[in-house]
Structure 1
Amino acid sequence: MRISAAQRTENENRIRAAMDRLLRGEIPPGGKCDIKTLASEAAVDRTAFYGSRPYAHLRLEFERRVQALRDAGEIPDPREAQIARLKAEVAKLKERLAQSEQTIDELTDFRSQVLARLTAQHEEIVHLRETAAGTGRVTRLPAARSATFGSCS
């Protein structure tokens, strides 16, 4: 079915208005910033945006404007912005988790080394005590007196 020039102009105006709304972030519930939602919002058949159909140039304009916003660091679709933010947060959390795991591994190794050293030192002390107790050449010093040393009367 052919449409008149006036109907075509009216459709193009509705498409452009819907395009502006979507690019401002006014996404309807369940929609996205895409051609399907654009067609739905403008009440135009989606197939009219493809091939040599009458509104293919508007699809190209819409895609160009969406890409320009993305290149500028803006994401018109709030859901896409939330997804991008959450992906960045997940990446940061994965990095923190990897650092935490590395720190835990390092501390576990350090703890093992410290326990091994303490055990070796304890065994050495026990051995030295046994050796000292078994020989008569070691003289025990008297316990220190409570009086202070170095005082002259």
Structure 2
Amino acid sequence: MRISAAQRTENENRIRAAMDRLLRGELPPGGKCDIKTLAREAAVDRTAFYGTRPYAHLREEFERRLEALHQAGEIPDPREAQIIRLKTESAKLRGRLTKSERIIDEFTDFRTQALAQLAAQHEEIVRLREIAAGTTRVSHLPSARTTVIGSCS
């Protein structure tokens, strides 16, 4: 079905108005900042935005403006902004988790080495005690006496 030039102009005006609202972040409930929502808000068939259809240039303009907003760090769709924020936060947490796991592995290795050293030292002490107990050449020193320093009379 062909539309008149006046209808086409009216449709383009509705599309541009809807485009401006969406890019300002005024999203309808359940809508996103995308072509599907743009078509629904402008009351135009979505297929008219693709290929050689009459409003393909408006789709390209919408996508260009949306990309420019993204590059400027502005995201009109609050859900998309939340997704990006959560992905960034998730990446940071994964990095912290990886670092924590590496530190835990280092401490576990250190603990294992320390326990092995203690066990080896204990075995050496036991061996030396056995050698000392079997040898008569080792003399035991008398226990230390406590001396009181007296006054000179």
Report the TM-score when normalising by structure 1: 0.88
CA deviation after TM superposition for structure 1 residue 148, in Å = 6.7
Residues 148 and 99 from structure 1, CA distance in 2 versus in 1: closer, same or farther, beyond 3 angstroms? Answer: farther
Alpha-carbon distance in 1 for matches of 2:151, 2:88: 75
Give the secondary structure class of the aligned counterpart of 1:98.
helix
- Kindly state the Cα deviation for residue 66 of structure 1 after the two structures are TM-superposed: 0.5
The residue that corresponds to 2:35 in the other structure is 35
Amino acid at match of 1:36: K
Which residues of structure 1 form unaligned runs of 5+?
none
Supply the distance in 2 between the matched residues of 1:152 and 1:48 (Cα, whole angstroms).
Answer: 115
Coordinate RMSD, CA, aligned: 1.9
Please give the secondary structure, in 2, of the residue aligned with 1:62.
Answer: helix
CA-to-aligned-CA distance 1:89-134 (integer Å, 9 cap, x gap): 2211111111111111111111111111111111111111111111
Aligned to 2:2: 2
Provide, for residues 65-107 of structure 1, a one-character-per-residue CA deviation record: whole Å limited to 9, x for no partner. 0011111122221121111111112211111111111111111
C-alpha separation in 1, matches of 2:18 and 2:144: 95
Q: Which whole-Å CA distance do the structure 2 matches of 1:135 and 1:142 have between them?
A: 18
1:126 aligns with 2:126: yes
Equivalent residue runs for 1:39-118 within 5 Å:
39-118=39-118
Aligned residue-pair number:
152
